[in-house]
Amino acid sequence: MSGTTTGIDDFVVITGFSGAGKSQAMACFEDAGYFCVDNLPPEMIGSLAELFQLEGSKVERAAVVCDVRGGAYFEGMVRVLDDLESRGTPHRLLFLAATEEVLTDRYKETRRRHPLADSGQLSGGIESERELLEPLRGRADVSIDTSDLSASRLRKVVADKMLPHEAVGKLAVTFLTYGFKHGAPRDTDLSFDVRFLPNPHYESELRYLTGLDDEVVTYVERSDGLHGFYDRLLPLLDYLLPAYVREGKAHLTVGIGCTGGRHRSVVIAEQLAKEYGERGDYLVDVVHRDIDKPPRRP
């Protein structure tokens, strides 16, 4: 950062549901060199922004997390955002959400108490929080549903949507597999349905294996229509990926879906990741969302 800074260029307020990933989002900004503060009470946001505007301040970019842990939340946050706008302070609001089912599962995994669940009823705490957050959701510059995002993928999405792209590096491409019977993911940029291929699930010796097993790979690769699919898909991706790079996109999620998300989609995503990873033009990873979910008998 320059030592001659006289005002902040970017002030990000991160808010949203408890358990929706605000800490991961803040870590993304911290890695990018932002001055970060977690759990900042609403009434202190304006004072901090004003401090950053003072002559001699060396903070050019900052991010703060403010949520229901801050106490008097509704009136405080709305008033603070109004004050920032009236003073002309450059700021953005990032709102993180997730489904009630996902939030509940995350709290059960961590065994944390929801800040609004005074009676011990998690569902009641989430509902109370939803009412408090509703006025802020509509004011958000960027809203992200984190229900289907791992911690690492959330950080990539935040970086893509919120961080400046002056120096565009390699495009990060995630091939995400999923099962339609478990619900389509919300955050894919491109999605391809491979249910037209024969389903290994109906072969008893393959049902409990996955697309990471050689037997399933062999079965899928022998399918009629697979090579024709690749002959059309690869040129399409070869056209689209450089176009996204030219537009300054940092991260792209390509969804590959089949019925259960365990066999066909996995084989194809692994092949695509190998193909584009070996080229060296992109940062490639693979996420198999539903591969560990047990198959059901037909």
Asked which of 162, 187, 218 is the last residue of a domain, the reply is: 162
Our measurement of the distance from residue 188's CA atom to the centroid of its chain's CA atoms, rounded to an integer in Å, reads: 10
Task: Quote the mean pLDDT of the chain.
Answer: 85
Digit-coded pLDDT (tens) for 226-263: 999 999 999 999 999 999 888 777 788 999 999 999 99
Digit-coded pLDDT (tens) for 197-227: 999 999 999 999 999 999 999 999 999 999 9
Give yes or no: residues 20 and 156 share one domain.
yes
Asked which of 162, 193, 219 is the last residue of a domain, the reply is: 162
pLDDT at 74 over 60: no
Structural domain contains residue 176: yes
Asked which of 110, 127, 162 is the last residue of a domain, the reply is: 162
Range of the domain at 85: 10-162
Give yes or no: residues 87 and 219 share one domain.
no
Give yes or no: residues 139 and 50 share one domain.
yes
Structural domain contains residue 158: yes
Report the pLDDT averaged over residues 144-173.
80
pLDDT at 1 over 50: no
State percent of the chain over pLDDT 90.
44
Give yes or no: residues 190 and 83 share one domain.
no
Please report the pLDDT score of residue 6 as a whole number. 47
Structural domain contains residue 105: yes
Please report the pLDDT score of residue 5 as a whole number. 40
Could you tell me the sign of the dihedral formed by the alpha carbons of 73, 76, 79, 82, in that order? negative
Torsion of CA 215, 261, 238, 243, to 10 degrees: -160
Please report the pLDDT score of residue 167 as a whole number. 47
Could you tell me the sign of the dihedral formed by the alpha carbons of 68, 71, 76, 80, in that order? negative
Give yes or no: residues 146 and 283 share one domain.
no
Structural domain contains residue 295: no
The total number of structural domains in the chain stands at 2
Report the pLDDT averaged over residues 107-127.
67
